[in-house]
A and B are shown apart, each in its own frame.
Chain A
Amino acid sequence: MLNWFARQFGSAPLHDPTATPAPDVQRDVKTTTCYMCACRCGIRVHLEAGKVRYIDGNPDHPLNKGVICAKGSAGIMKQYSPARLTQPLLRKPGTERGAGQFEPISWERAYAILVERLARIRATDPRKFAFFTGRDQMQALTGLFARQFGTPNYAAHGGFCSVNMAAGMIYTIGGSFWEFGGPDLDRAKLFVMIGTAEDHHSNPLKIAISAFKRRGGRFVSINPVRTGYSAIADEWIPIKPGTDGALFMAMLHVLIGEERVDRAFLARYTNAPQLVVLDGGERDGLFAFDPAAGPPGDGRNPHNKLVYDKASGRILHAYPEGIADGCEPALEGRYALDDGTPVAPSFQLLRERVAPCTPEWASAITGIPAARIVALAREMGDVALNQAFELPIEWTDAWGKVHPTTTARPVAFHAMRGLAAHSNGFQTVRALSVLMSVLGTIDAPGGFRHKAPYPRHIVPNYRAFNSPEMIQPNTPLNAAPLGFPASPDELAINADGSPIRIDHAFSWEHPLSAHGLMHNVITNAVNGDPYRLDTLMIFMANMAWNSTMNTEGVRAMLNARDPDDGEYRIPFIVVADAFQSEMVAFADLVLPDTTYLERHDVMSMLDRPISEFDGPVDSVRVPVVPPLGECRPFQEVIVELATRLKFPAFVNADGSRKFRDYPDFVVNFQPAPGIGFLMGWRGKDGESPLRGEPNPDQWQRYAENNCVFQYHLPRDMQFMRNWNRAYLDFAKEKGWRQRNDPVQLALYQDSLQTFRLAAEGKGGGRQPPAHLRERVVKYFDPLPFWYPPLEEAVTDTEAFPLNAITQRPMAMYHSWDSQNAWLRQIHSHNYLFVHPKTARAAGIADGGWCWIESPWGRVRCMLRDSEAVEPGTVWTWNAIGKADGAWHLAPGADESRKGFLLNHLIADTLPLGERRISNSDPVTGQAGWYDVRVRITPAEGDETSPHVQWARPDVDARAAAPHDSAEK
């Protein structure tokens, strides 16, 4: 009644819109680090009465400078997700795996089960414990756990993520995109972005692209689809999926053919002038060397090589004579050593390689007009070479030459999964890296720039274990489970050449699988190839859904039993996760993890730090709210298990506990003197950053400083770090590098050639089994080349004429956010986007239901017309479709009824002769997600098919969801 009077007689608002709701509530602001995706921005968490009220970007954080993305702002709803796991769960005796019949158990019981089981495996055959982790950022800890256990069967998710990008670039320039390096858009004039997933390094890249455009830079996007970042490109160049390598080869053809290359850079900073043996013998294709100067140069010791000096007409040592003043190392020509051995500079071989790769050749493959390829190549060359400028920064190179200025090469590139997720991705990324190198854009202002601890050696000095004798009961592995092989000697194979690892990583099937092949584990374990497992532990990876190929097949495999004894082929599956993903249903034991707001975490230099171009940065998370229910941070679980299992690194000589908990471990564990998980505020007094004694107050110092530590290198150490004397010395001193040698760019990759020679039966060392020889010879080419994705050779491309790919929505991180009440309103289901001509030709209307079918499976989904896609390609958003009931969504939720998953169409293995082999890159084992060929046909019905039912755990201890009027 009072309101009614007010309405009649007053115009003043009744409701003061500026009044603070609940003014008497206690308010608090804590800083920590976001984990709604792997970008890891600084956030401020605003608490009211101890509950999260608001999360915004931290303006004092170097990564995001106060901004935040759609996911970050929706982080509050993760706390209220109905899909939270809140207590350890054990599959009920006598029930089927996958039926969702669990009993809650105590942590003490969970530890007892695990310790009994893992101790027995470790004492008998450590290989039988496999530990694979998903989208985590804690591989320094999980890797240490696996190594201390003594199992070779450990990796994170890089094998199905972007290992082609990492390996292709690291084997060429010593660094890679994303957290290891990126485009210097502050100084670039031209930015070329190729096939980028838009959920990666997202806020820093958005900030940089916006500022770049506003400064007048030109932005070109090469992508089959125009979404997201490509939408604001000045020019969109559509390309057929899997053909980028042909484009780069043609651009190299133009640039090299028209002399638009940085010859001085090539001569001094790359292996372009170094002489390659061309005698058809045992060292054919390797670099020539001087026997009197020590062993031959290889990937790890690259400096005993030779060049031909045009000034003197003599063959000289590449270092230091070959780079001395007055020397003119030849980039072209053919020469002979004193003993008559024919040789040529590697650049000559590159020149010959790209000669037939004409723009017309590439046009027929890529769908891009030849004139456009030529014009873009010329534009790149013009910007890099003719629009260059000097920064007034004096620096000294590795051979003591002082350069009074630093030369910019203002053309910057960025690429990610669009190149990587193809079975030709490694060589495609090699081609891009060589393209960037001939333009001189490596760690130059305006070009590609490294982030500490990169650049690494080429090849990085990380050797994995390489013999079965290194795996012994109750003994830590005396080498890392993962590494960067420089030659066949470093493969993880048995004497007969067969794989040691369950995922076949570092075997002749995928020799340079630096990130492992998580996508092979379940298939191989079920097939006992090369042996059966006892226990498979999966952390935070949805291997029963969007993180696997052949989804339905893999789900069946997870439940497969041995006909002889009726036991599961994978006897025990442990899943650690914070949420009820599709994978959780297949667990025998579920370990409930916390959310990112409930735990300590480190973004470590030993792992994947958040470094900036001008110096290293690491950061932490600290708990801002208590864990829900019985949740425990997985890090704590790892430290506890390692302690109870008495791993040497986790117990004292008397077997007593070394670390109180995970924060204590982070402060006090040192893999090398003065080096720990965190580099900030080291030293007892906190005054020894980067390297120093453990500081008991280290966590406190991070918490007081926005949870981040940033170190700015002096200006003269910020560029040209592959060859920068001051930087190389500094990086060695701080433990980021083992040596202070310069990192010469590998236009020609002689480490690849060692594998090829072995496959040709040369060199007297390890050789591949017969069925893989031809494959290794073909793909281990020391020069980049383009070949069609492997799937084309086993697919009738007339019957399946279209390419099918996925894109990453910026408001959703993988499968992780359908439980999020706000984000799922942005993407509750997905469509298949198809060019109208392609759709009409198939007889399907805009908005109609259709079958999308590959040789390996089919899915019924809804089609949407789009002019923003290359007509030979269809695409959809990644990981929106869900199993019905998973992630604690109500039965019949949009995600299962209207959303769909493309993974059903993608094979986990492909035929290789009479055998089958992983559907992956033959060099690195990167999953070939984007190789699949499809056709589309009209469909009856109006629901997604296959309709996969998820068994909801019968234990329901979720937190109540606020603001949910429909469920009240």
Chain B
Amino acid sequence: MQLALVIDLNVCVGCHACVTSCKEWNTGGAAGPLTDQHAYAADPTGTFFNRVQTYEAGTFPDTETIHFPKSCLHCEDPPCVPVCPTGASYKRKEDGIVLVDYDKCIGCKYCAWACPYGARELDEGRQVMTKCTLCVDRIHDEALAPDDRKPACVKACPTNARLFGDIHDPQSDVAQAIRERDGYPLMPEWDTKPANHYLPRRVNKAP
């Protein structure tokens, strides 16, 4: 099993719902707290497992504005794991989620240097490396209603742009979406085999 997010750039409006719902769940969850620095002062900064970047492509008037949510891609061959000197970074066999064991992490940042995607965030408050857990403390929690056993960002997303499931199961929604919508991984040339995929824009042209 390889759990993953498949993010549909055709409907993402860049609203940041995934950003703060992630922050909110995880700051009080098993991976938290996610600390903030200068929260009410100049240059506020803090730990977010998920961020939305906005790009422009093309020139006026044929400009595209692309909202691009990014978090840990849960690579099938994650370069952040073997470089960890303490074994704090690890990939779960049962569901493919890449995690950091905070009790082992010494904050050396080797993993952040190894990650080609810039997906890791050193928590300045706690001095441990953090990252998306795919809400591992939600998705396996049988105390939650079955519909709630999803990552916080997936539940929040108003455009349902974030699909979640097992990309190794060809019948899953995510595997089908990747197949049928030309889903792609980021920088495949690095051979990291990112589990997360993106679905490209599709333009419905004028008749």
Choice from B39, B104, B152 contacting A964 with Cβ under 8 Å: B39
Known: A18-B30, A893-B42. A73 touches B24 (CB 8 A): yes
Stretch at the interface among A7-15, A551-559, A649-657, A904-912: A7-15
B137 contacts chain A at the CB level, 8 A cutoff: yes
The answer for the CA separation of A869 and B15 in the assembled complex, in Å, is 19
Across the interface, name the chain B residue whose C-beta is closest to A812: B16
| Stretch in B112-120, B165-173, B183-191, B198-206 touching the partner | B198-206
Question: Would A231 and B27 be within 8 Å (CB), given that A835-B60, A964-B36 are in contact?
Answer: no
Indicate whether B23 reaches chain A with its CB closer than 8 angstroms.
yes
**Residues in A neighbouring B13, C-beta threshold 8 A:** 198, 206, 209, 228-229, 231-232, 810
Known contacts A56-B152, A70-B19, A867-B56; decide if A965 and B29 are in contact (CB<8 Å).
no
Q: Do B156 and A67 touch across chains, with their CB atoms under 8 A apart? A: yes
Q: Bits for A840-884, please: 1 = Cβ < 8 Å to B, else 0.
A: 000000000000000000000000001111110000000000000
Chain A CB within 8 A of B34 CB? yes
By a CB distance below 8 angstroms, the chain B residues around A214 are: 10-11
Within 8 A of B (CB), among A65-81: 66-74, 76
Partner of B65 from the list A68, A868, A966 (CB cut-off 8 Å) is A868
CB within 8 Å for A14 and B11 given contacts A7-B87, A231-B66: no
Q: How far is the CA of A54 from the CA of B26 in the complex (A)?
A: 9
Which of B21, B29, B207 contacts A56, CB < 8 Å?
Answer: B21
Distance, CA A67 to CA B99, complexed state (A): 26
Q: Is A33 in the interface zone, CB < 8 Å from B?
A: no
B133 close to A966 (CB less than 8 A): no
Q: State the CA gap A203–B17 with chains docked (Å).
A: 10
Cα–Cα, bound, A56→B11 (Å): 21
Report yes or no: A54 in contact with B24, Cβ–Cβ below 8 A.
yes
Contact residues of A between 41 and 82, Cβ < 8 Å to B: 48, 53-57, 59, 64, 66-74, 76, 82
Considering only CB atoms, which chain B residue lies closest to A890 in the complex? B41
Contact size range, A: 35 or more
- Check A379 for interface membership: any CB of B closer than 8 A: yes
A82: which B residues are within 8 A, CB to CB?
A: 40
Whether A13 contacts B156 in the complex (CB less than 8 A), given A234-B203, A894-B44, comes out as: no
Nearest CB of B to A211, in Å = 8
CB distance from B36 to the nearest CB of A (A): 5
A965 touching B35 in the complex, CB below 8 Å, given contacts A69-B15, A206-B15, A867-B56: yes
Task: Say whether A206 contacts B46, CB under 8 Å.
Answer: no
Give Cα A775–Cα B181 distance, bound, in whole angstroms.
57
Given A74-B24, A232-B10, A868-B60, also A826-B36 (CB < 8 A): no
Chain B residue numbers with a CB within 8 Å of A72 are 17
Interface hits, B64-116 → A, CB 8 Å: 64-67, 86-87, 90, 99, 101-104
Name B40's contact: one of A73, A235, A867, A893 (CB within 8 Å).
A893
Partner of B63, one of A226, A825, A967: A226
Say which residue of B37, B67, B156 sits within 8 Å of A966 (CB atoms). Answer: B37
Known: A214-B11, A821-B46, A965-B36. A7 touches B86 (CB 8 A): yes
| Per-residue contact bits, chain B 133-170, to A (CB 8 Å; 1 contact, 0 not) | 10011001101000100001001111111000000000
A890 touches B40 (CB 8 A): yes
Nearest A residue to B12 via CB reads A232
Check: A888 CB closer than 8 A to any chain B CB: yes
Q: A56-B21, A236-B61 are in contact. Are A821 and B40 (CB under 8 A)?
A: yes
Q: Are B29 and A226 in contact (CB under 8 A)?
A: no
CA A819 – CA B44 in complex, angstroms? Answer: 12
CB of A18 within 8 A of CB of B140, answer: yes
- Binding stretch for chain B, among A216-224, A490-498, A606-614: A216-224
Residues of B in contact (CB 8 Å), total 76
Whether B204 contacts A218 by the Cβ 8 Å rule is yes
B156 CB, nearest partner CB in chain A, Å: 5
In the complex, whether A280 has a CB less than 8 A from a CB of chain B is: no
A376–B201 Cα gap in the complex (Å)? Answer: 22
Contacting residue for B155 out of A67, A231, A897, CB 8 A: A67
- Within 8 Å CB of B176, what residues of A? none
Q: At the interface, is chain B mostly helix, strand, loop or mixed?
A: loop
Q: Is A811 an interface residue (CB 8 A)?
A: yes
- The answer, yes or no, to whether A112 is at the interface (CB within 8 Å) is no
A219 vs B29: C-alpha distance when bound (angstroms): 39
Contact between B41 and A963, CB atoms less than 8 A apart: no
Interface residues of A in 371-418 (CB under 8 A from B): 375-376, 379, 382
Q: Once the chains are docked, how many angstroms separate the CA of A11 from the CA of B87?
A: 7
Q: A234-245, CB under 8 A of B: which get 1 and which 0?
A: 111010000000
Which of A13, A227, A823, A835 has the most C-beta atoms of chain B within 10 angstroms of its own C-beta?
Answer: A13
B25 interface contact, C-beta 8 A? yes
Q: Which residue of A lies closest to B159 (CB)?
A: A210
Chain B contacts of A463 at CB under 8 A?
none
Q: Of all chain B residues, which has the CB nearest A46?
A: B28
A70 B20 Cβ-Cβ under 8 A: yes
Cβ-closest chain A residue relative to B39:
A821
Most buried by B among A20, A59, A69, A217: A69
* Residues of B participating in the A interface, judged by any CB pair closer than 8 Å: 10-17, 19-21, 23-25, 27-46, 48, 56, 58-61, 63-67, 86-87, 90, 99, 101-104, 124-125, 133, 136-137, 140-141, 143, 147, 152, 155-161, 201, 203-207
User: Shortest 10 CB-CB distances between A and B: which pairs?
Assistant: A965-B125, A890-B41, A210-B159, A206-B158, A70-B16, A14-B103, A231-B65, A821-B39, A73-B21, A73-B20
Interchain residue pairs with CB less than 8 A apart (9): A55-B24, A69-B15, A69-B158, A203-B158, A214-B11, A226-B63, A229-B13, A234-B205, A825-B45
Residues of A in contact with B (beta carbons under 8 Å apart): 3, 6-7, 11, 13-21, 48, 53-57, 59, 64, 66-74, 76, 82, 198, 202-203, 206-207, 209-211, 213-214, 216-219, 226-232, 234-236, 238, 375-376, 379, 382, 810-811, 819, 821-826, 828, 835, 866-871, 888-890, 892-894, 897, 961-967
Starting from the known contacts A70-B21, A234-B206, A825-B36, 11 additional A-B residue pairs (CB-CB under 8 Å) come to: A6-B103, A70-B20, A73-B21, A74-B24, A210-B11, A217-B204, A226-B64, A822-B23, A824-B40, A867-B60, A889-B40
